[in-house]
Amino acid sequence: MLTFHLDPDELARTRFACSVLHETIASLRVVADPAAHAMHVPWLREAAPRIAGTDLTLLRALVPAEGYLPDFVMPPPDSPLPDLDVELDRMEATSDRQVRDELAIAFPDGLPPAVRPLADDPPRALRRLRAQLVAYFTATLADRWPALRALLEADIAHRARRLTDGGAQALFADLHPAVHLRDGGRLDVATRYHAPTVLVGRGLLLMPSVFAWPSIYAVTDPPWQPTLIYAARGVATAWEPTADPGPDALARVVGRTRGRLLHALDVPRTGRALAQALHITPSAISQHIAPLRDAGLVTTYRDGRHVMCRRTELADQLIAAATPART
């Protein structure tokens, strides 16, 4: 059992982030043990042939199918949406002592030969690890990352609304079955291991993940910020193509194209991505987005250079009401 004490100051410092590096590492657990991650088999079928023959010796040796892996391999991000190069820079900047200390925790019975270079010459081995991570990500996740990132951002937006509407109790109520917020701000996380979890003014980092399902992971060792990594909402749909809702009740209310558009916004998308998904022009998307936004069914926001479209909770309720129950 892990316990975090979230007094008002610590809760005020609690934040969210998405990590492309974590998703890369977590996906390797799926490769290592497909039977434990049946939900991700569709992705695995396309990813496995792409890495056949790729040298991932060091990376595979560091990432077990389950259990502890050295935190320096995927340090908790220090900003909400860092790109892969930024996260890899932080990994490479890990001190020699930190690398060796975490290796000793991960391999208490002695380092396997594949990992020994990290203890002998950490900077050189970290450069090699970076190269393997880039090769693996490029082969297996690069083309999927925009959609996965949108799914993670949608979860964060949902959690932020929960926090705003119902406070910490609402935020943690359905985060994961192993997580329970008790009276006095005590957050209990049922895990198979115990570790010091003092926040000391750093707050808690909450990170949604596609590949964490069905587990929950924690980072508790210094110098990293205490972190909980949990399965994002909508993971079950991660590998499904955008569905055409057909001539259902929703289409009869808002029109067929706008009904399809709302269904396509199961994760936030740019106008261009919506146009590609619905096979219509970007200008047509703009003409449909405006009335949906006026009706409170869609919101838009800027993410860097991109304007993202997101379905509102009102639209979620409308879709749920218009979808026949399955028996």
The pLDDT value given to residue 320: 75
Strands ordered across the beta sheet of 306-311: 269-270, 306-311, 298-303
- Give how far Cα 95 sits from Cα of 87, 92, 126, 169, 258, Å: 15, 8, 11, 38, 53
**DSSP bridge partners of 300:** 309
The pLDDT value given to residue 222: 81
Indicate the pairing of strand 179-181 with strand 205-209. unpaired
For range 166-180, the mean pLDDT: 92
Which pTM does this prediction carry?
0.73
- Give how far Cα 131 sits from Cα of 56, 92, 160, 299, 320, Å: 9, 11, 35, 39, 45
Strands ordered across the beta sheet of 2-5: 2-5, 186-189, 179-181
Residue 32 has pLDDT above 50, yes or no: yes
Strands ordered across the beta sheet of 15-16: 15-16, 205-209, 227-231, 217-219
Domains within the chain, CATH numbers bracketed: 2-15+147-236 (no CATH), 19-144 (no CATH), 241-322 (1.10.10.10)
Most confident of 131-145, 181-195, 291-305: 131-145
Residue 241 has pLDDT above 70, yes or no: no
Q: Decide if 58 contacts 114 (C-beta within 8 A).
A: yes
What lies within 8 Å, CB to CB, of 321 at 6+ separation is 249
**DSSP bridge partners of 181:** 187
For range 77-95, the mean pLDDT: 93
The pLDDT value given to residue 243: 46
HSE on the CB side for 323, CA within 13 Å?
16
For range 75-101, the mean pLDDT: 93
b/e sequence 92-121, b meaning 16+ C-beta within 10 Å: eebeeebbeebbeebbeeebeeebebbeee
d(CA 161, CA 145): 24
d(CA 311, CA 211): 24
Helix (H) or strand (E) holding 5: strand 2-5
HSE on the CB side for 5, CA within 13 Å?
8
Q: Is 134 exposed, middle or buried (0-12, 13-18, 19+ CB in 10 A)?
A: middle
